[in-house]
A and B are shown apart, each in its own frame.
Chain A
Amino acid sequence: MMPIEIGTVLYAGAIGLVVIGIAGIVLSHHLFRIILALVIAEAGANLLLVLSGFRWEAIAPIITGGGAAQTMVDPVPQAMVLTSIVIGVGVQALALSLTLRAYGAYKTLDIRELQRRMSADLAGEAGTPLPQSLEEPVGGRPLPAAEGDGR
């Protein structure tokens, strides 16, 4: 009875983490939160991987010298997860450095603002500038009536 319960909880947790991560990416506006959500999603996926190789009532897959052969947890997913965590860390580091650079260029971490400015910059480089509101009205500001006009 118990292994099944824990199993379901663990699977639900792993999938839940992935869902939370995806929700964070889709719903957040702040760049750093999006990256954190990505981290959470990756953690969920890794957990899912570990679970896929998990055997109940088994020991860690380490060969200690001598002793009777016991059921071990499947080591392959654990190796996969190690690799995957490292890859994740690398990608997250790259993401952070890119975030720093983007902040340095645009001074904002709001993805709406970032996308708007990026599109404007790309369009400007491409020679097809996006229409923007003018800084001042066309034709200048009407001057007040000249003195001595009698009006």
Chain B
Amino acid sequence: MNTIALTVVLPLLAAFVVPVLSRVSPLLGRLLGPLTLAYTILLTLQVWLGMEGKPFSIALGGFQPPLGINFYVDRLSLLFTFLTLVTSLLLWPWRNETEPRQYALTLLLAASACGLALSGDLFNIYVFYELISVASFGLAAATRSGAAFAASLRYLILSGLGSVLVLCGIAIVYLQTGTLNLAQLSQLAPETLNTPLGMSAFALILLGIGVKGELFPVNSWVPEVYAAASSRVSGLLAGLVSKLAVLVIVRLLVLLFQQESALQLMLILGLLGAISGELAAWRAKDMNRMLAFSSIGQLGVIFIAFSIPGETGLFAGLALSLHHLLVKPALFLLAERWRGSLAGLRGAGLASPVAGGLFVLLALSLVGMPPLPGFWAKFLLFTGLAAQQSVVYQVALGVVLLSIVIEANYLFRVVMNLFQPAGDSSVAVTTDHSWLNLGTTFLLSALLIAGMLFMGPLGTWLEGVAIQAADPVLYFDTVFSVSAIH
């Protein structure tokens, strides 16, 4: 069971070995990363089978919590660890021109993301969060164009400011409670953190971590970085890193900040993000920008979902997150072959019908046409919102519905353009006819269809994950129980 820590250790080790190994043998350097990721995926599956659905906790280095740092492994953490590793493998930068430094950065991202999902200590989360930041700054600048450096710098400054705020928030939490262990905090929280000071700590942490999670209004970096970075990196950032940031916030909400005003704050910010993202996407004139703004909008909707109290919120948010994790990287990979303005894409769908068909499928799922999985995720969200009494939730329902209409409009504007016969004056599109990109998109779409076919069991399983994650008492008992694994 301790092997779960290897999901952090092995990629981290490989990240530092790869540049060295590449000098010796370039081929080995290219292969080491994917091999490590594949091996850690197997490890994760092994732990999954061994844990039989019950959460457990590992104390790192033998030091017991609450002073020692522990890894808390429940279905949610394991799910996100697994998804991190698989997504990193799928979106691995395979191009021949890739430097070993980019491999190292991707491995670093994977390692720190796993750590972020698993960690049970507040400051440990901060450390892994910073590691992810550093990795993503490097990845964002990896194309080495002037615009990439500038975009990465702006991202860095905003993210750095966010980290400062997170530190202040952690300081306030420590001041109030005297501990950093999440389990102990969950026990102390109702008395100590249910104050205005505790709420301000939440606000600081939310805004700080929200920079990664594309929260309104700290998401100005998103269009610039996604446009400057390569599509695989954008897919990684949009699909994976943002979800991890949301996961951290959700854990903190469940365990530490159980007051209603915390949820309302997140709801309002999510609402603003959803509507602003979709409206800005409507005006976008090229594919990358459109997908970046759409990502902002979708994450706003995810924040709205997670702001519903209780297991319903977690269930809806998880369903939406998983769906977005499948669809967004696939769309970014398609965008790789369709760089250039949207107007110049006329006839591109007729030229490569498979890519066009996949785009239509992904767009339909994003918009929420039944019986695709996107509809069911949105349905869970809507039923959850409608069941709430407060009027803000009803307003959020209306806003999300409006954002879906706008999304349908701009996505299908693109689809219509794709399938119209190209006139004589179409701009030459820089196409990337790589079969690897198309194959990965196909695989992700196939997973989407598979999800649709097995929606029943998938839904029940996901609900189980949500119920387990929404239980702070279970968290406390697992970490501090006698039978915790040492």
Contacts and interface: CB of A to CB of B under 8 A. Distances in A.
User: Do A and B have CB atoms closer than 8 angstroms in the complex?
Assistant: yes
Interface of B: 67, 123, 126-127, 130, 133-134, 137-138, 141, 144-147, 149-154, 156-157, 160-161, 163-164, 167-168, 170-172, 174-175, 180, 224, 227-228, 285-286, 288-289, 339-341, 344, 427
Contacts of B146: 102, 105-106, 117-118, 121
Contacts of A80: 123, 170, 180
Given A125-B227, A127-B344, A45 B164 contact: yes
A73 interface: no
Interface string A72-99: 0000110010011001001100110011
Given A31-B153, A42-B164, A127-B427, A77 B174 contact: yes
A128 B341 contact: yes
Contacts, number: 133
B341 A34 contact: no
A119 B154 CA distance: 12
Contacts of A91: 130, 133-134, 156, 160, 163
Contacts of B67: 76
Interface residues of A, number: 45
B412 to A, nearest CB: 20
Contact of A98 (B153, B224, B339): B153
A94 B174 contact: no
B475 to A, nearest CB: 21
A131 B146 CA distance: 20
A87 B127 contact: yes
Interface stretch (A18-26, A59-67, A134-142, A143-151): A18-26
A18 to B, nearest CB: 6
Given A45-B168, A87-B130, A127-B427, A95 B160 contact: yes
Contacts of B151: 118, 122
Contact of B339 (A42, A84, A94, A126): A126
B167 A90 contact: no
Given A41-B161, A118-B150, A126 B340 contact: yes
Contacts of A115: 150, 154
Contacts of A77: 171, 174
A114 B227 CA distance: 16
A121 B153 contact: no
Contacts of B228: 118, 122
A94 B138 contact: yes
A86 to B, nearest CB: 10
Contacts of B157: 25, 34-35, 38, 95
B102 to A, nearest CB: 15
Contacts of A95: 153, 156-157, 160
